Amino acid sequence: MSQIEVLKDRKSQIHLKGSEPFEMTCDRHSLSGSVSQRACVFCGSRVVLYPIADALHLVHGPIGCAAYTWDIRGALSSGPELHRMSFSTDLQETDVIYGGEKRLYAALTQLIDQYQPKAAFIYATCIVGIIGDDVAAVCSRVSREKGIPVLPVHSEGFKGTKKDGYRAACDAMFKLVGREDTADVSPFSINILGEFNIGGEAWIIRKYYEKMGVQVVSVMTGDGRVGEIGRSHGAALNVVQCSGAMTSLAEMMQKEYGIPFIRVSYFGLEDTAKALYDVARRFPDNPEILTRTMDLVKNEIRAIEPDLKEYRKDLEGKRAAIYVGGAFKAFSLIRALKTLGMEVVLAGSQTGTDEDYRILEQMCDEGTVILDDANPVELSKYVIEKDADLFIGGVKERPIAYKLGVGFCDHNHERKIPLAGFIGMYNFAKEVHSTVTSPVWKFAHRRRRV
Amino acid sequence: MLLRHTTAAVAERSALTVNPAKTCQPIGAMYAALGLNGCLPHSHGSQGCCAYHRSTLTRHYKEPVMAGTSSFTEGASVFGGQANLVQAINNMFTIYEPEVIAVHTTCLSETIGDDLPQIISKARDDGKIPARKFVIHANTPSYVGTHVTGYANMAKAMVDYFAEKNGVRSRAVNIVPGFVEPSDMAEIRRIAGEMGITPILFPDTSNVLNGPLTGKFAMYPEGGVTVSELTRSGSSKATVALGRLAAGPAARAMDVKCKVPCHILDLPVGLKKTDEFVDVLRQLAGVQVPDSLEVERGQLLDVISDMHQYLHGVKVGIVGDPDQLIALTDFLVSVDMIPVHIVTGTPGKKFEKRIREIVKDVPHRVNVSAGGDMFLFHQWVKNEPVDLMIGNTYLKYIARDEDIPLLRYGFPILDRVGHSYFPTVGYRGGIRLLEKILDALLDRKDRDSPESGFELVM
Ligand code: SF4
Ligand code: SF4
């Protein structure tokens, strides 16, 4: 296992800090034949739009694309649950030959009649792009007939990476913005973008802002509602979390409605506090907001600090490997792990940009391995070489970590506990602690030798 | 109520599937390919499909699942995926060093019309396939059939590519298991062993998808049928297929290609269906059924008789794949239970006919749908409640909303462990199924019965 080769063409997507000047190729398409951990455009669109709970989500394609994305995220809703159903046109051979437009029309009208959704998203999958269905035309026809927005999502899988899917989702969502009245929107108001309410995270964040005296017009898309998105253009500020997913919507809203945006992260104490302060400072006309923010941050941190100290005692000096979807998440994770006294020995992402990796390399210590679009062989090679105690990743990495006898923490959409906000940091510390200190690793061969 | 949007009134739907009871072909092909020793499955299409298939298999088996993808771009989807596949084959043999690459198509490459045999032979001509290494393929468009079809197609590809007859009939028996768990495959092998038969079992995912924690990451776990076994399988004296839909095509292909006579049976789930399997093995081996198996059979019978009053008249709703449902329905009926709603997502006319045949003496109306979905099943349950549901994890929504006990059985199981380690086939598997059925029913009874009806001894 020590002499694992790395695909020659992949060399430029792997960087060892300290060993060479920083230069990485990224944002490129995966090499054919790589056992890549990446997903497709459709996947990106689906995860972004999925939490809008009073909209209809219809996957236009063969059954698989819909089956695999049926209720895959723990994105919670406080009201309707329409988003948790899986609707598919389930294309058959004849549709592939003669086109699927008729089928799409029939499915769509039947669903709208039955569920009276506030809007409908129609996801185009690979095959739809090939057989040339005019999804947009069907959508606008149904929209006219039924009187609700019916929005095509151009998410054909082969047309790029997950990131392009985020963009396609934002394009569709942008069409909902500006449809509703904004008369009752306060001047001290924001939209929360890129927060999906996994395990109720959006609720936690929303409560912080409300305590600060800031009105949250809409959360996009956690516990999302079509009507809220419709009046989101009335907000004074867009607060965008996780650079990858929803920046393009913020950009469009800035251009069209002149709403400025800031980027934040709600992961870890530092980042959460910074996010709240950054927002508070945007409202100098109402200094009470800042005062309330300071109180809030102080109280929240005070409440969890003793527990964090306890966890830190056991975690100090342990080594972590991070492999997540977006690089932005990796930044927050590195800071949060430092709070716990842990060292990051591997950091990678599926979809980071050049700029992302530059920031990553600055944040990391000497000797840290930085990876773009990694495969399992590389991941396991570095986890072993760097003797990691913890792996943070998604569903496909979990069993690899366990096979190597290494603790694991899910930081993707599979998880059910909220990791955002101050309480999220406590949850994170607790989870990391429980997996890293689990007695099971004592029985794992590799660790036993050490 | 997670499924609060399910209405009780059943309406005709022709263009729409809601909450599917099936998934697409490639995942079945990928699973089957993992049952080939040293094999790297390869998805010829865009990245997304492959990521989804791997994730789903990983969630079900809680094991790493390796597979390559051709990573189609827009260019490939206009000009065809030949260049991608040839490059992929080259990269995979160079870096991941598999013995075999098993390529399956996706909707995308099928629709574009990529000709896999031609591309594979081009790869060979270009010297991209090292000596004594192999590339095999199966066509798996998802707009035809389901994950079961995909499994069947890849199992058949193993025959098409490898089986050879060398003129001498060996004493070996081929066994093709259907789309069952690694634990089931191991159990099938054990039962054959008890009969004195060392089978060539393919696909065989035991020791691949239920492997131990070793502290190492193995790209190719130890299990799986080997290429040399598959080559010899063409000279075996017979092939036994377990599961008509998932295993039948491979067995028939073996018959056509190498004139190895085939016995196509149902999955050996429950007493009668295991009897049928054991009986065929007995004839093939020319032996008596050994005492060891007779004892297991007697034990299963013993459990049924001990508990039959708790099974009598229990109404069951089941969702699953055709091969499993046929055998399971037969078993349930044989222990005096009443399957009232039976849904598979896989279309097929024969299925309904066979189920009707099995339930013809059941004193109750039985709903059957081939090509149905969970939404329809839920509507049926709302209209006629059941005491127990059996099916994959997705049934848990209905179980919760309608407050009905659920036994997880089939694919995928995303929220429990055990299926990869403990079989449900054979006599012992029958005992395990009964144990699970009774646990579900009796736990519920203990919870719900009034004090006067609460029993210590059951
Ligand atoms: S495109 Fe076809 S093969 Fe890919 S996930 Fe969808 S249904 Fe399955
Ligand atoms: S078919 Fe395309 S859209 Fe569907 S999962 Fe595969 S790559 Fe994604």
Q: What's the CATH number where A201 sits?
A: 3.40.50.1980
Q: What's the CA-to-centroid distance between B432 and ligand 1, angstroms?
A: 34
Among chain B residues, CA nearest to A131:
B111
Top pLDDT among A3 and A370 is at A370
The residue among B3 and B311 whose pLDDT is bigger is B311
Task: Quote the domain boundaries for residue A327.
Answer: 8-25+316-415
- The CB density around residue A1, as the number of other CB atoms within 10 Å, is 15
CA dihedral B66→B190→B296→B303, nearest 10 degrees, is 0
Lowest mean pLDDT among A147-156, A285-294, B13-22, B336-345: B13-22
Beta-carbon count within 10 A of A270 CB:
15
The alpha carbons of chain B give a radius of gyration, in whole angstroms, of 23
- Which pLDDT does position B4 carry in this prediction? 77
| Cα–Cα distance measured from residue B73 to residue B332, given in angstroms and rounded to the nearest whole number | 49
Closest ligand 2 atom to residue A125 Cα is: 3
Per-residue confidence (pLDDT) for residue A2, from 0 to 100: 35
| pLDDT attached to residue A3 | 38
Question: 3-state SS of chain A?
Answer: CCCCCCCHHHHHHEEECCCCCCCCCCCCCCCCCCCCCCCCHHHHHHHHHCCECCEEEEEECCHHHHHCCCCCCCECCCCCCHHHCCEECCCCHHHHHHCCHHHHHHHHHHHHHHHCCCEEEEEECHHHHHHCCCHHHHHHHHHHHHCCCEEEECCCHHHCCHHHHHHHHHHHHHCCCCCCCCCCCCCCEEEEEEECCECCHHHHHHHHHHHHCCEEEEEEECCECHHHHHCHHHCCEEEEECHHHHHHHHHHHHHHHCCCEEEECCCCHHHHHHHHHHHHHCCCCCHHHHHHHHHHHHHHHHHHHHHHHHHHHHHCCCEEEEEECCHHHHHHHHHHHHHCCCEEEEEEECCCCHHHHHHHHHHCCCCCEEEECCCHHHHHHHHHHCCCCEEEECCCCHHHHHHCCCEEEECCCCCCCCCCHHHHHHHHHHHHHHHHCCHHHHHCHHHHHC
Is residue A182 included in any domain, yes or no? no
A17 found inside a domain: yes
Closest chain B C-alpha to A35 CA, distance in angstroms? 5
Query: Is A177 a domain residue?
Result: no
Is B25-144 in CATH node 3.40.50.1980? yes
Q: What is the pLDDT of residues A332-365, one digit of tens each?
A: 899 999 999 999 999 988 777 778 778 888 887 8
ipTM of the complex: 0.93
**Site of tokens 């044989």:** B334
Structurally, chain A folds into a number of domains equal to: 3
- Cβ-nearest to B58 among A70, A384, A395: A395
Strand, helix or coil for residue B148: helix
CA of A125 to the centre of ligand 2 (A): 6
Confidence of residue B1 (pLDDT cuts 50, 70, 90): low
Cis bond before residue A221 (omega within 30° of 0):
yes
In a domain, A211, yes or no: yes
Instruction: Read off the pLDDT of each residue in B59-64 and give the average, rounded to a whole number.
Output: 94
Question: What confidence tens digit (pLDDT) does each residue in A193-229 have?
Answer: 999 999 999 999 999 999 999 999 999 999 999 999 9
Q: Which of A58-72, B2-16, B442-456 has the lowest mean pLDDT?
A: B2-16
* Binary contact (A403, B213; C-beta < 8 A): yes
Which residue among A59, A65, A93 is best mutated to probe the pocket of ligand 1, counting the most ligand atoms within 8 A of its Cβ?
A: A65
Domains B173-291 and B298-447 in one fold: yes
More confident residue, B217 or A416: B217
Same domain, A321 and A225: no
Is the pLDDT at B203 greater than 60, yes or no?
A: yes
Assess whether pLDDT exceeds 50 at residue B73: yes
Q: Check pLDDT > 90 for residue B423.
A: yes
Query: Does a structural domain hold residue A268?
Result: yes
Contact A369, A386 (CB under 8 A): yes
Q: Measured between CA atoms, how close is B82 to chain A, in angstroms?
A: 11
Residue B327: the pLDDT is 98
> In chain A, what is the greatest distance between 2 CA atoms, to the nearest angstrom?
69
Q: Which of A10-24, A311-325, A329-343, A402-416 is predicted with the least confidence, judged by mean pLDDT?
A: A10-24
Q: pLDDT tens-digit profile of B352-361?
A: 999 999 999 9
Average of pLDDT values for B159-181? Answer: 95
A443 domain-assigned: no
Task: Give residue A117's pLDDT.
Answer: 96
Q: Select from B35, B56, B290, B330 the least CA-distant residue to B185.
A: B35
Q: Domain spans of chain B? A: 25-144, 173-291, 298-447
CATH H-level superfamily of B298-447:
Nitrogenase molybdenum iron protein domain (3.40.50.1980)
* pLDDT, tens digit (0-9, with 9 covering 90-100), for B122-163: 999 999 999 999 999 999 998 999 999 999 999 999 999 999
Which of the given ranges, A3-17, A319-333, B89-103, has the highest pLDDT on average?
B89-103
What mean pLDDT comes out for the span B64-80? 89
Indicate if the pLDDT at residue A450 is higher than 50.
no
pTM: 0.94
User: Is the model's pLDDT at A19 over the cut of 70?
Assistant: no
Looking at residue A234, its pLDDT comes to: 97
What's the whole-number average pLDDT of chain A?
89
Is residue A311 situated within a structural domain? no
| Smallest Cα distance from B88 to chain A, Å | 4
Residue A447 has pLDDT above 60, yes or no: no
Q: What is the pLDDT of residues A398-407, one digit of tens each?
A: 999 999 999 9
CATH number of B173-291: 3.40.50.1980
In chain A, which among 309-338 make CB contacts under 8 A with chain B? none
Pair (A367, A337) in one structural domain: yes
In chain B, what percentage of residues exceed pLDDT 70?
100
Residues B191 and B428 sit within 8 Å (Cβ to Cβ) = no
Q: Do B19 and A85 touch (CB under 8 A)?
A: yes
